[in-house]
Amino acid sequence: MTSFQSTIGDEEGIAEELAEGQREISIAEFFEKNKHMLGFDSGARGLVTAVKEAVDNALDATEEAGVLPDIYIEIEEVGDYYRLVIEDNGPGITKEQLPKVFGKLLYGSRFHAREQSRGQQGIGISAAVLYSQLTSGQPAKITSRPKGQSRAQYFELIIDTDTNEPEIKADEETTWDRPHGTRIELEMEANMRARQQLHDYVKHTAVVNPHARLELREPGLDEPMKFERATDELPAETEEIRPHPHGVELGALIKMLEATESYSVSGFLQGEFTRVGKKTADNVIDNFRDVYYGRELAWSPPRAHDERDVAGAVADAVANKGEEATTAFSEGVAETVASSDRLSRSELAAIVDNVADTVADDTGKTFGETVRANAVNAAWRAITGAGDGEETDGETSDDENGRATESPLVADAYALVDDATSTRKDDAAVRAMAEALARRFGNLDGDAFRITSDDLERLVADAASFVAEQHDATFGETARENVVEAFWSRARTVPDDPPKVAAIAGSRDAAADLLEAMRTTDILAPPTDCLAPITAELVEAGLRKEYDADFYAAATRDAEVHGGDPFIVEAGIAYGGEIPAEGSVELLRFANRVPLVYQRGACATTDVIKNIGWRNYGLDQPGGSGLPNGPAVISIHVASTNVPFTSESKDALANVPAIEDEIELAVREAARELKSYLNKRRSMQQRREKQDVLGKILPEMADKVSEVTGRPRPDIDGALARIMNNVSVEREVNGETVSLVVENHSDVNEQVEITDIVSAEPTDLSEGTVVDMDGEWFVQWKPEVPSGDERELTYAVDGDPEFEVSVGGVETEKLTVNA
Amino acid sequence: MTTESDARDELIDLAADFYDQFAAGDIPEMTLPTRTKSNIEYDEESGVWTYGDRTSTRSANSVRGARKLLKAAYTIEFLANQLDDDRSSTLRELYYLSESWNNDEAQFNSQDESNDLVEDLEIVTGVTREDFHMRPEESGAKVMGPLLLREQTNRGEREIHCQLDVGQGGYQIPNNPDTIEFLDNDAEFVLCVETGGMRDRLVENGFDEEHDALVVHLGGQPARATRRLTKRFRDELDLPVVVFTDGDPWSYRIYGSVAYGSIKSAHLSKYLATPEARFIGIQPEDIVEYDLPSDPLSDSDVNALESELEDPRFQTDYWEEQIELQLDIGKKSEQQSLASRGLDFVTDTYLPERLNDMGVL
């Protein structure tokens, strides 16, 4: 955006001149000029977008109220304009809120909530109102009847584009036949060129909201398009969640810091974020300390026979405490120091405090703040040499080997550098590096050797380039990283209290440090009860409802997290039946149950589908990539608290790798079912073809051999069943005894369900059960017949009854019934 | 062999087998010896090569198998009727005749298919196709030599002397040489000749008169009738048989089918093969010895020679030696290459020398 800045100096009057032209741009005015960002770039598209925004709102409102949505959409030609009416059976909107919801941009209940919902920014419906107002000059006409109220409220409102405030033109009570709900009527300049997209949108909404009833009337339709519900189950209610520490950005964090009532960082973290308890907060704060304060480098204390005399130094630093207490104190400190592996100055201070308290308890001598501070300084000097001859340190003196008393840090640094670098490094180079590092550590502010990770990296790099220059020994990137890691991992987090929330909120750098600390801390993924997936079952039901196919499959993945926002991907596939076989498959894209109609090519879902090798799953894919061909519909639903779109008009999913991976897995899961269905169908097809051909050939052959041999035509059903690896059911009636024989010629065990309807009462059943149904007897028998085996059912029946057998549990292609 | 009514009964029996299989709820099938090179065995007793123990099954279990069996059923009916009517037909006529069957599935797609099916039926029923009254399109070849025979023709009996009563072309062998009766002969041996050109040369030079030879023209791969007649010369007239072909691997196979029987008709080896027949030439050895004009062996010649080395019929010391020699010199020669020494060289020098070597003359 243009930035207006007055120039300082001589050119008087220019600022004033410019200031005259400057005024606040209302948000409504801004959108008036940027309609395309919201999907109102053309009359055709504007109509679809207005329907979409109104229907999304209606669905959100009804679901939130726990009502099964019943939504009515009507488009009428009114002179040069189109009138759009959307009615829902939602909870209605209160009189106070109503003008704002529809008449004020960026007003909504959703923007601040981390919860899956269709609308998010509170822009959509008011943008539609604005669009209608701008193109037709007509106010939006809104009727709302909250539940339980006897009358409805009718408004006419327009948006004042200067102030972004609604202006009520009419406000009166009215009657309405719906017991509760909202109706919005908009008139706008539009055309129906995007009729197909409109139909797609409504149809796809019905697919992905199987619990909703939708009705669409528009001038081009002879009959209204009606979509009935496939389920009475509302989507699971979603819980609002607090933001996840991995999902906030700096600006948002500062805002939260400013707004919170917490005083401490720990309280802030625990109170404002999801998945943060005491322990996680502590981890974040430790990381924050490291980033904000840096760590204190820790050094090896003197060992026995070392000339560094901690006890002596401490004793010298203590005055007037008596010999006994002084000795106990100095030796106590020296002993504890010697027993630790490495030590930072803060740790030393803690030791001194401890020993001072113990000695005070034992001897009655108190060691005051000053004494303790002196003791710490003295001991620290003894251990690290810090504070010694500071004037000789620094890059000015290069006679490193010539110095009489070498800093004790050098030996320590040498050991670490030697350890961290490859064994091929020249000893002199390692020593030079150690000395260069030690000298630079000595130059750090204060004598606690406090340094942040970034500064440590810089320091090591500086030392390395110094060594490279002076000693012609290179420390490459890996070596430097190893050295940094060696020091950093041995450095100690400082015990200082983190700054208070108010202080962090006031400092952008501190807030950035906190954000970094939050991002580097391992934190549990956000909870997923803020999401309402459709569930695989209902994805399938939705497809089943709108597509007359032969096969349906669906898959719902487990929740995953992207940038602190949880998301769930679902995929469904419908195949065959009435779905047109020509051209590429139909791809349905949904985000938070909203169909995405435009910009298919720019969408991450399309990219994923194109990159799957569909030939593996039995679909035709010219060239082995791209959209597959064939009679299939693939639907993909991404539910998230924050769906990443490529633009504000929410037409296409952005290419986020974590989401793309899940989309691929979900689609492949459903596609695997498709594959096994297609394989099975193919083998059944082959079986049918074989059966057809053999069913023709074998009787002819039988006829021919009976002709040649002069014998009657043989019964070939047994042979046929055997050839087809079939299950055959054969009836023999022998006087009063009826027997049904099931032979299984297939290579798997078969669970056969046989119902024999007999017109006389059967008795003496060998197996199964018999039920009398109004003078007909149903003999039911469910034998399990192993491969290559047979089972027999016999019963007795009087007279000459009629039989009617039906066989289930076996595919018809595999069945030969002769009974 | 079989009589005509036997042949008919055998066919009906086969149909009855199918019938019984149907009636028993079994899948109709017929089992045949596997007709490949790896499944022929030397029969010690008769000295010919016949099928071994491995079998293949034509079963109605598959669409392919079912079609074959359906065609078999139709063909059985046709052959049985043909025998009833005492008619005969050629293999090619059978192929075209199937077009008239009122069943698309039963019609033959190619003549190979109908030829194979007739061979299948021969094997399963043990009846030769001559007894089914099926004959090949090409008739048998010709004989020239001092032999008097009586042939049973459709037009009555004929007595023919194969030198005196025939023209330059010789006596035409009928499709079923079992209709011939030998009456008298002065023959010393039988000489089977591969090419027509060489046969004409021998006849023109009077080789049959000079050496009392029965010159049999093979005409490439010999027809069954030619092989059958050759076998009868050997068995009934007790004449030695020698085979004179080109000196290349394909011609050795001609000798092989005369002497050992062919793979496709190994079921008839005992009826067709003349295991006593010997190879006179052109031997690879002769190419070297007589310095005959030659062509280099092509790749397919080499492959054929190598495949003959693995053919059980050629696994004798003599053939291994000859074939390896030929692979070694990489040359082949035709019978006519002997003309490079003059037109009379073959009758005056080559054949007498070879026949002497072999102890025939």
CATH number for the domain including B67? 1.10.10.10
Strand-strand pairing, A551-556 and A565-575: antiparallel
Instruction: Give me the amino acid identity at A123.
Output: I
Res B140 pLDDT > 80: no
Question: Nearest CA of chain B to the CA of A716: how many Å?
Answer: 5
- Residues B129 and B277 grouped into a single domain: no
A701 to B73: CB separation less than 8 angstroms, yes or no = yes
For chain B, say whether A714 makes contact (Cβ under 8 Å).
yes
Q: Would the annotation count A611 as a binding residue?
A: no
| Residue at token pair 């251990």 | A383
Q: Would A9 be classed as within a structural domain?
A: no
Give me the CATH number covering residue A810. Answer: 2.60.40.290
Structure tokens at A581: 């076989």
Distance separating alpha carbons of residues A723 and A52, to the nearest angstrom:
58
Rama region for A536: left / alpha / beta (φ>0; ψ in -120 to 50; rest) = alpha
- Residues B317 and B192 grouped into a single domain: yes
For chain A, say whether B305 makes contact (Cβ under 8 Å).
no
Residue of B13, B14, B19, B61 to mutate when probing chain A, most A C-beta within 10 A: B19
Res B327 pLDDT > 90: yes
Long-range CB contacts for residues B97-104, cutoff 8 Å, separation at least 24: B98/B71, B98/B74, B101/B74, B103/A700, B103/B70, B103/B74
Q: Would the annotation count A124 as a binding residue?
A: yes
B19 to A714: CB separation less than 8 angstroms, yes or no = yes
Residue B215's pLDDT band (cuts 50, 70, 90): very high
Q: What is the mean pLDDT of residues A574-596?
A: 89
- Residues A156 and A196 grouped into a single domain: yes
Q: What is the mean pLDDT of residues A511-540?
A: 85
Question: Nearest CA of chain B to the CA of A747: how many Å?
Answer: 15
pLDDT at residue B333, as a whole number: 93
| SS3 of residue A546 by DSSP | helix
Contacts with A706 from chain B: Cβ below 8 Å: 19
pLDDT at residue A669, as a whole number: 93
Distance separating alpha carbons of residues B301 and B248, to the nearest angstrom:
8
Least confident of A238-247, A291-300, A592-601: A238-247
Distance separating alpha carbons of residues A811 and A748, to the nearest angstrom:
13
Contacts with B70 from chain A: Cβ below 8 Å: 697-698, 700-701, 704
Give me the CATH number covering residue A655. Answer: 3.30.230.10
pLDDT at residue A519, as a whole number: 86
Q: What is the DSSP letter of A83?
A: E
A709 to B12: CB separation less than 8 angstroms, yes or no = yes
Q: Would the annotation count A92 as a binding residue?
A: no
| SS3 of residue A672 by DSSP | helix
Q: Which of B135, B151, B176 is the last residue of a domain?
A: B135
Least confident of A104-118, A272-286, B180-194: A104-118
pLDDT at residue A12, as a whole number: 58
pLDDT at residue A24, as a whole number: 61
Q: Is A222 exposed, middle or buried (0-12, 13-18, 19+ CB in 10 A)?
A: exposed
Give me the CATH number covering residue B198. Answer: 3.40.1360.10
- Residues A550 and A649 grouped into a single domain: yes
Residue B254's pLDDT band (cuts 50, 70, 90): very high
| SS3 of residue B196 by DSSP | helix
pLDDT at residue A421, as a whole number: 79
Q: What is the mean pLDDT of residues A228-256?
A: 81
Largest CA distance in chain B: 72
Q: What are the angstrom distances between the C-alpha of B340 and each of A817, B285, B286, B334?
A: 79, 17, 14, 11
pLDDT at residue A147, as a whole number: 81
pLDDT at residue A321, as a whole number: 78
pLDDT at residue A562, as a whole number: 79
For chain A, say whether B182 makes contact (Cβ under 8 Å).
no
Residue A341's pLDDT band (cuts 50, 70, 90): confident
The DSSP string of B266-291 is GGGHHHH--TT-EEEE--HHHHHHTT
Q: What are the angstrom distances between the C-alpha of A273 and each of A30, A278, A282, A639, A763?
A: 34, 12, 14, 21, 74
> How do residues A789-818 score in pLDDT, each as one tens digit?
888 888 988 888 888 888 888 887 778 787
Least confident of A141-150, A612-621, B12-21, B208-217: A141-150
pLDDT at residue A721, as a whole number: 79
Structure tokens at B63: 């669409």
Instruction: Give me the amino acid identity at B271.
Output: Y
- Residues A654 and A597 grouped into a single domain: yes
For chain A, say whether B9 makes contact (Cβ under 8 Å).
no
For chain B, say whether A686 makes contact (Cβ under 8 Å).
no
The reply to whether ipTM tops 0.85 is no
- Residues B119 and B157 grouped into a single domain: no
What letters, b where the CB count within 10 A reaches 16 and e where it falls short, cover B193-211? Answer: bbbeebbbbbbebebbeeb
Q: Would A686 be classed as within a structural domain?
A: no
A708 to B26: CB separation less than 8 angstroms, yes or no = no
- Residues B171 and B298 grouped into a single domain: yes
Q: Would A688 be classed as within a structural domain?
A: no
Of B96, B271, B290, B318, the catalytic one is B96
Nearest chain B residue to A719 by CA: give it.
B25
Q: What is the DSSP letter of A624?
A: G
- Residues B59 and B122 grouped into a single domain: yes
> How do residues A627-640 score in pLDDT, each as one tens digit?
999 999 999 999 88
Question: Nearest CA of chain A to the CA of B5: how many Å?
Answer: 15
Q: How many structural domains is chain B composed of? A: 2
Q: What is the mean pLDDT of residues A104-132?
A: 62
- Residues A61 and A205 grouped into a single domain: yes
pLDDT at residue B192, as a whole number: 95
Residue A32's pLDDT band (cuts 50, 70, 90): low
Question: Nearest CA of chain B to the CA of A233: how many Å?
Answer: 52
Q: Which of A648, A679, A710 is the last residue of a domain?
A: A679
- Residues B54 and B197 grouped into a single domain: no
Q: What are the angstrom distances between the C-alpha of B87 and each of A40, B78, B79, B81?
A: 91, 11, 10, 9
A716 vs B22, B69, B70: nearest CB = B22
- Residues B216 and B303 grouped into a single domain: yes
How many CB atoms neighbour CB A31 within 10 A? 25
Closest CA to B15 of B23, B51, A717: B23
pLDDT at residue A398, as a whole number: 42
For chain B, say whether A692 makes contact (Cβ under 8 Å).
no
- Residues A213 and A258 grouped into a single domain: no
Distance separating alpha carbons of residues B82 and B77, to the nearest angstrom:
9
Distance separating alpha carbons of residues B207 and B23, to the nearest angstrom:
64
- Residues B126 and B149 grouped into a single domain: no
The DSSP string of A315-333 is HHH--SS-HHHHHHHHHHH
Q: What are the angstrom distances between the C-alpha of A241 and each of A115, A235, A308, A527, A636?
A: 6, 18, 58, 8, 25
For chain A, say whether B309 makes contact (Cβ under 8 Å).
no
Res A107 pLDDT > 60: no
| Residue at token pair 């192929």 | B95
B21 to A697: CB separation less than 8 angstroms, yes or no = no
Please give the annotated binding residues of B, written as ranges: 194, 246
| SS3 of residue A522 by DSSP | coil
What letters, b where the CB count within 10 A reaches 16 and e where it falls short, cover A156-171? Answer: bbbbebeebebeeeee
Q: How many structural domains is chain A composed of? A: 6
Q: Which of B135, B168, B193 is the last residue of a domain?
A: B135
- Residues B83 and B199 grouped into a single domain: no
Q: What is the mean pLDDT of residues B32-46?
A: 81
- Residues A542 and A435 grouped into a single domain: no
Q: Which of A626, A661, A679 is the last residue of a domain?
A: A679
Give me the CATH number covering residue A259. Answer: 1.10.8
Range of the domain at A758: 719-818
pLDDT at residue A2, as a whole number: 43
B73 to A708: CB separation less than 8 angstroms, yes or no = yes
- Residues A306 and A418 grouped into a single domain: no
Residue B234's pLDDT band (cuts 50, 70, 90): very high
Instruction: Calculate what percentage of chain B has a pLDDT beyond 90.
Output: 49
Res B65 pLDDT > 50: yes
Number of H helices, E strands in chain A: 23, 27
B66 vs A698, A708, A717: nearest CB = A698
pLDDT at residue A4, as a whole number: 45
How many CB atoms neighbour CB A561 within 10 A? 18
Q: Is the peptide bond before A697 cis (omega within 30 degrees of 0)?
A: no
B60 to A701: CB separation less than 8 angstroms, yes or no = yes
Res A75 pLDDT > 60: yes
Q: Return the HEC string of A719-752.
A: HHHHHCCCEEEEEEEECCEEEEEEEECCCCCEEC
Structure tokens at B85: 């009517």
Q: Would the annotation count A123 as a binding residue?
A: yes
> How do residues A716-730 score in pLDDT, each as one tens digit?
887 887 777 778 888
Residue of A693, A698, A705, A745 to mutate when probing chain B, most B C-beta within 10 A: A705
A697 to B66: CB separation less than 8 angstroms, yes or no = yes
Q: Which of B135, B152, B186 is the last residue of a domain?
A: B135
Distance separating alpha carbons of residues B352 and B355, to the nearest angstrom:
5
Q: Would A711 be classed as within a structural domain?
A: no
For chain B, say whether A711 makes contact (Cβ under 8 Å).
yes
Residue A643's pLDDT band (cuts 50, 70, 90): confident
Range of the domain at B101: 4-135
- Residues A426 and A332 grouped into a single domain: no
- Residues B203 and B90 grouped into a single domain: no
pLDDT at residue A111, as a whole number: 47
Res A406 pLDDT > 70: no
pLDDT at residue A100, as a whole number: 66
Distance separating alpha carbons of residues A370 and A357, to the nearest angstrom:
14
Q: Is A665 exposed, middle or buried (0-12, 13-18, 19+ CB in 10 A)?
A: middle
Contacts with B103 from chain A: Cβ below 8 Å: 700
For chain A, say whether B272 makes contact (Cβ under 8 Å).
no
Contact B82, B132 (CB under 8 A): yes
Q: Would A487 be classed as within a structural domain?
A: yes
| Range with the largest mean pLDDT of A305-319, A488-502, A521-535 | A488-502
Mean pLDDT of chain A: 83
Contacts with B69 from chain A: Cβ below 8 Å: 701
> How do residues A354-400 score in pLDDT, each as one tens digit?
888 888 888 888 888 888 888 888 888 888 876 554 444 444 344 44
For chain B, say whether A747 makes contact (Cβ under 8 Å).
no
pLDDT at residue A215, as a whole number: 93
Residue of A704, A707, A726 to mutate when probing chain B, most B C-beta within 10 A: A704
> How do residues B162-209 score in pLDDT, each as one tens digit?
999 999 889 999 888 888 999 999 999 999 999 989 999 999 999 999
- Residues A205 and A325 grouped into a single domain: no
A697 vs B25, B67, B76: nearest CB = B67
- Residues B225 and B262 grouped into a single domain: yes
For chain A, say whether B63 makes contact (Cβ under 8 Å).
yes
A708 to B77: CB separation less than 8 angstroms, yes or no = yes
A701 to B23: CB separation less than 8 angstroms, yes or no = no
Question: Terminus-to-terminus CA distance in chain B, angstroms?
Answer: 34
Least confident of A111-115, A766-770, B259-263, B344-348: A111-115
For chain A, say whether B12 makes contact (Cβ under 8 Å).
yes
A700 to B15: CB separation less than 8 angstroms, yes or no = no
Q: What is the DSSP letter of B61?
A: T
- Residues A469 and A577 grouped into a single domain: no
Contact B243, B277 (CB under 8 A): yes
- Residues B164 and B69 grouped into a single domain: no
Please give the annotated binding residues of B for Mg(2+), written as ranges: 194, 246
B23 vs A693, A715, A722: nearest CB = A715
Helices (DSSP H) in A627-656: which residue ranges? Answer: none
Res A334 pLDDT > 50: yes
Res A528 pLDDT > 80: no
pLDDT at residue A404, as a whole number: 41
Q: Is B19 a catalytic residue?
A: no
For chain B, say whether A713 makes contact (Cβ under 8 Å).
no
- Residues A101 and A212 grouped into a single domain: yes
Residue A714's pLDDT band (cuts 50, 70, 90): confident
Rounding to the nearest 10 degrees, give the CA dihedral for residues B250, B255, B261, B265.
40
> How do residues B282-322 score in pLDDT, each as one tens digit?
999 999 999 999 999 999 999 999 988 988 888 889 999 99
- Rg, C-alpha atoms of chain B: 22
- Count of A-B CB contacts under 8 Å: 83
Q: What is the DSSP letter of A557?
A: P
Closest CA to A446 of A380, A358, A512, A490: A380
Structure tokens at B216: 């049999």
pLDDT at residue A530, as a whole number: 77
